[in-house]
């Protein structure tokens, strides 16, 4: 299996990583251990911890932090940025269309069943706090490498987010809009992130119980009485937003919220229903959306993806199962997936049966999709697989911070980067040109 190591081109060190070569070469082992311990102490002290669903155990577990950064040159990033923004524009157009006239479906570019079956699914872009805190910690521990390299700052994110949220305030709002972040509460594994963003933006962090609907508006309960809320940046799923509309047993939501939303009394970000775009099967159509809505050629290629719901694709997937990664369409957190080259025979056979039973529930991708970046491991430095999660904000304008969350699979050869399954995070650098 060939894999791309982002630091090297053959035996040459690629330019963005040039200075890091000296940095690791001159770092003694003791210093490295010391710094690693310091980083962990900092994470713990700040309180960025992570609870793994369904495992019990330590609720204050740390996500492993790898000090070896992942680096993009300015021009590499510029291309990525154009591509990401292009996808964002297309997806935005798609959401407007899907909940409106549905032209892309009528034009036969996307099968309607995909969209309408899955319209209840939404994920929120978690992890941005790791991007922000990893950077803070790296700058604190290694000021020298920041002086030597010119690295674009990422701490503009919160300001961009605040502006984006204010820009979508409903027409009924006069004056400075009141923005809040809606969290499921402090037992949620991403609670730290919610509170960090609230703090950085200077907005209230509310739970469902803090909000109530009265007439045409939503209010929060404050020590000075009810205060009207204009924009809700929600970090809870659609299904929990409004017990009158979705799950009646939801304790997290606000009864009547959807009525106020529909009548334009409050804006909700991401808009209810936008989760349809997260769907892994819909994902495969993003290049088609770019062509359909924007009339442009996609700048970024999708990872080649086979839709197991299509008979041809399914045949290909079944024939090549040991080489492929198979994922559930709705899956997240790296659960319920098959990594063909790493899997035992029985597991592959188990997936074969699953695929036969409900093919439309799965997609498959080649395993070489993830590149590697040098990573600190027990024996020194070794390549490990990474992915990239950029954070794109779509409001009046489309904005992207230069950086993102790089997740790394710390086990040798592993392709599973999810923090719930032993993945870690790295600081992600974009060099200024």
Partner 1 sequence: MLSRTADNLYWIARYMERADTVARLLEVGSRISLLPSAQGYRSEWDSLLQATGMAHAFAKKHGEPVQRAIETFLFFDRDNPSSIASCITAARENGRIVRTALTTQVWDALNTAFQELRGLEGTKRSSMDLSRLTDWTMRHAAMVRGSIDATLLRNDGFNFLNIGYYLERGDNTARLMDVKYYVLLPRVDFVGSGLDNYQWTTLLRAMGAQRAFHWAYGGDVTAAKIADFLICNPQSPRSLATCTAGLVNHLSRLAKAYGRATEAQDKARNLVSGIETATVEAIFDEGLHEFLTRYITDAAELATAIHNAYLGGEMR
Number of residues that bind partner 1 (CB under 8 A): 26
Report the b/e string of 170-185 with b at 16+ CB within 10 A: beebeeebbbbbbbbe
Supply the minimum distance, in Å, between the C-beta of residue 220 and partner 1: 6
Point out which span in 127-135, 212-220, 241-249, 399-407 binds partner 1 (CB under 8 A).
212-220
The smaller minimum CB distance to partner 1, of residues 177 and 208, is found at: 208
Distance, CA of 254 to CA of 266 (rounded, Å): 13
Among 33, 222, 263, 320, interactor with partner 1 by CB under 8 A: 222
Supply the minimum distance, in Å, between the C-beta of residue 261 and partner 1: 20
Site string for partner 1, 364-393 (x = CB under 8 A): ------------------------------
Residue 45 engages partner 1 in binding (rule: CB under 8 A): yes
Point out which span in 27-35, 219-227, 336-344, 360-368 binds partner 1 (CB under 8 A).
219-227
User: Per CB under 8 A, which of residues 169..198 are in contact with partner 1?
Assistant: 186, 191-192, 195-196, 198
Point out which span in 119-127, 169-177, 203-211, 307-315 binds partner 1 (CB under 8 A).
203-211
Residue 226 engages partner 1 in binding (rule: CB under 8 A): yes
DSSP string, 303-347: PP-EETTSHHHHHHHHHTGGGEEEEETT--TTTT-EEGGGS-HHH
Distance, CA of 251 to CA of 420 (rounded, Å): 25
The smaller minimum CB distance to partner 1, of residues 94 and 219, is found at: 219
Give the largest Cα separation in the chain, rounded.
68
Going from the C-alpha of 10 to that of each of 6, 239, 399, the distances in angstroms are 10, 49, 35
Residue 57 engages partner 1 in binding (rule: CB under 8 A): no
Rg (CA), the chain: 23
Distance, CA of 25 to CA of 7 (rounded, Å): 14
DSSP string, 18-76: HHHHHHHHT--HHHHHHHHHHHHHHHHHHT--BPPTT--S-TTBPPPEEEEEEEE-HHH
Supply the minimum distance, in Å, between the C-beta of residue 263 and partner 1: 20
Supply the minimum distance, in Å, between the C-beta of residue 324 and partner 1: 42
Among 44, 82, 140, 350, interactor with partner 1 by CB under 8 A: 44
User: Per CB under 8 A, which of residues 330..369 are in contact with partner 1?
Assistant: none
Task: Kindly give, in sequence order, each residue whose CB lies less than 8 Å from that of residue 407, ignoring residues fewer than 6 positions away.
Answer: 127, 386, 387, 389, 417, 418, 419, 423, 424, 425, 426
Distance, CA of 412 to CA of 423 (rounded, Å): 11
Among 55, 103, 199, 433, interactor with partner 1 by CB under 8 A: 199
The smaller minimum CB distance to partner 1, of residues 195 and 421, is found at: 195
Supply the minimum distance, in Å, between the C-beta of residue 8 and partner 1: 40
Bridge partners of 137, per DSSP, are none
Distance, CA of 351 to CA of 346 (rounded, Å): 9
The smaller minimum CB distance to partner 1, of residues 197 and 416, is found at: 197
Supply the minimum distance, in Å, between the C-beta of residue 433 and partner 1: 35
| CB-based contact 219:228 (threshold 8 Å) | yes
Among 12, 224, 312, 357, interactor with partner 1 by CB under 8 A: 224
- Give the footprint of partner 1 on this chain (CB under 8 A): 44-45, 47, 186, 191-192, 195-196, 198-199, 204-207, 209-210, 212, 214, 219-226
């Amino acid at each position: 299996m060939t894999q791309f190591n982002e630091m090297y081109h053959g035996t040459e060190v690629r330019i963005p990583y040039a200075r890091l070569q000296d940095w690791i070469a001159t770092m003694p082992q003791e210093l490295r251990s010391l710094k690693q311990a310091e980083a962990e102490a900092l994470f713990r002290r700040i309180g960025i911890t992570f609870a793994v669903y369904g495992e019990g155990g330590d609720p204050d577990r740390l996500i492993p932090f790898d000090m070896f950064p992942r680096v993009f040159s300015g021009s590499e990033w510029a291309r990525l940025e154009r591509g990401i923004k292009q996808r964002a524009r297309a997806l935005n157009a798609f959401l407007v269309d899907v909940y409106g006239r549905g032209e892309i479906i009528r034009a036969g570019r996307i099968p309607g069943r995909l969209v309408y079956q899955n319209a209840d699914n939404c994920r929120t872009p978690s992890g941005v706090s790791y991007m922000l805190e990893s950077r803070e910690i790296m700058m604190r521990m290694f000021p020298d490498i920041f002086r030597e390299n010119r690295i674009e700052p990422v701490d503009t994110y919160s300001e961009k987010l605040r502006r984006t949220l204010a820009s979508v305030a409903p027409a009924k709002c006069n004056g400075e809009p009141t923005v809040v972040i809606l969290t499921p509460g402090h037992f949620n594994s991403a609670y730290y992130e919610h509170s960090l963003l609230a703090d950085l933006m200077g907005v209230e962090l509310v739970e469902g119980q803090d909000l109530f609907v009265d007439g045409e508006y939503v209010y929060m309960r404050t020590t000075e009485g009810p205060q009207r809320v204009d924009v809700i940046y929600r970090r809870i799923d659609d299904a929990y937003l409004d017990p009158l509309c979705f799950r009646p047993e939801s304790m997290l939501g606000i009864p009547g919220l959807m009525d106020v939303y529909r009548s334009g009394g409050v804006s909700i970000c991401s808009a209810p229903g936008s989760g349809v775009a997260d769907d892994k099967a819909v994902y495969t159509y993003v290049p088609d959306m770019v062509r359909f809505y924007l009339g442009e050629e996609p700048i970024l290629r999708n990872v080649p993806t086979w839709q197991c719901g299509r008979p041809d694709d399914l045949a290909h997937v079944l024939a090549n199962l040991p080489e492929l990664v198979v994922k559930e369409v709705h899956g997240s957190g790296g659960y319920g997936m098959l990594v063909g080259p790493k899997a035992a025979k029985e597991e592959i056979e188990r997936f074969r049966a699953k695929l036969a039973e409900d093919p439309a529930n799965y997609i498959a991708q080649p395993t070489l999709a993830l590149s590697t970046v040098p990573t600190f491991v027990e024996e020194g430095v070794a390549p490990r697989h990474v992915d990239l999660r950029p954070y794109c904000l779509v409001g009046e304008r489309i904005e992207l911070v230069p950086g993102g969350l790089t997740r790394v699979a710390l086990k040798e050869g592993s392709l599973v980067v999810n923090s719930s399954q032993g993945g870690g995070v790295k600081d992600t650098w974009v060099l200024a040109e």
